[in-house]
Amino acid sequence: MRITPLHPALGAEVAGIDLGQPIDATTRQALSHALADHLALVFRDQALTPAQYLAAASVFGPPMEQHYSQHNMPEFPLIGLIWHQNGQQPAEQWHTDHTNRERPPAATILYGVEIPSAGGGTSVANMRAAYVALPDDERRRLEGLTTFNSLERGRADTRREDQDKYGAPIEHPMVRTHPVHGSRAVYFHISKATHIAGMTPEASQAYMSDLLERMMRPEIVYHHAWRKGDVLVIDDRATMHRAHGDYDRRERRVLWRIIVEGDRPRLA
Ligand SMILES: [Fe+2]
């Protein structure tokens, strides 16, 4: 296994691993630490069946249910299909996944199955670096704040069963300590957070969007330009990510998504 950094702030390519084969305990451990260190791992030229993909993803944690179940693969419901010909919009706003869960994902894993000829990349930002770059007084302020998280309102296609299972408000700290790495990172999802504790929804949204604007400098962002067969593993505990809708919508862009369960976010 060889690990080569892809960007000064985060992201590394992992070579010498076929994710279609069983992965031994030593390699699993090394990959889990590599993810905590580099925050985004890229495996090129993979050829995986859904079952092989699920087995590989479990290196990073137990695959968990995704709450917009209408987009899950019928025979493999732990794999979500990301494609835009079925009415989904690319998630172009910075976010981390499924913050409305008590134990949100440790990682989001994406497999490039069909890739448009240009555009349609995925950007990942290092929220550990974003935290360090904030002024001292704002870092202290953020450490005292929590968000309440729920499924996005106003999405007409949300199934009633998903709303019932995953709609209850869940509180998370806005700064969390990484369970493997021990460092702190800024943590929130602007459209899943209904509000910040003690603030109105309007003031909460205004503060989060101002924070995003100040934090997301190019120095802390790795942009992944997809190739067919790429597997991109994103550490959701210390990053935010976004899709880019800058591709020809007549072309197909199909990613298979797995999320794996992590710990309950806490600030240590
Ligand atoms: Fe996402």
How would you write the pLDDT of the chain (268 residues) with one tens digit per residue?
999 999 999 999 999 999 999 999 999 999 999 999 999 999 999 999 999 999 999 999 999 999 888 899 999 999 999 998 777 888 999 999 999 999 999 999 999 999 999 999 999 999 999 999 999 999 999 999 999 999 877 676 778 887 888 778 999 999 999 999 999 999 999 999 999 999 999 999 999 999 999 999 999 999 999 999 999 999 999 999 999 999 999 999 999 999 999 999 999 9
Ligand 1 geometric centre to CA of 92 (Å) = 9
Q: Are 169 and 149 spatial neighbours (Cβ–Cβ below 8 Å)?
A: yes
pLDDT digits (tens, 9 = 90+) for 195-240: 999 999 999 999 999 999 999 999 999 999 999 999 999 999 999 9
Q: Are 228 and 44 spatial neighbours (Cβ–Cβ below 8 Å)?
A: no
According to the model, what pLDDT value does residue 162 have? 79
According to the model, what pLDDT value does residue 158 have? 78
Ligand 1 geometric centre to CA of 183 (Å) = 22
Ligand 1 geometric centre to CA of 128 (Å) = 18
Ligand 1 geometric centre to CA of 243 (Å) = 8
Ligand 1 geometric centre to CA of 201 (Å) = 22
According to the model, what pLDDT value does residue 154 have? 67
Instruction: State both tokens at 217.
Output: 């400098």
Ligand 1 geometric centre to CA of 48 (Å) = 21
Residues 6 or more apart whose CB falls under 8 angstroms from that of 165 comprise 67
Ligand 1 geometric centre to CA of 21 (Å) = 27
Ligand 1 geometric centre to CA of 242 (Å) = 6
**157: phi then psi, degrees, rounded to nearest 5:** -90, 5
According to the model, what pLDDT value does residue 244 have? 97
Ligand 1 geometric centre to CA of 193 (Å) = 14
Ligand 1 geometric centre to CA of 2 (Å) = 27
pLDDT digits (tens, 9 = 90+) for 139-168: 999 999 999 999 877 676 778 887 888 778
Q: Are 215 and 130 spatial neighbours (Cβ–Cβ below 8 Å)?
A: yes
CB atoms closer than 10 angstroms to residue 249: 12
Instruction: State both tokens at 114.
Output: 């069909």
Ligand 1 geometric centre to CA of 98 (Å) = 8
Ligand 1 geometric centre to CA of 135 (Å) = 27
Q: Are 231 and 148 spatial neighbours (Cβ–Cβ below 8 Å)?
A: no
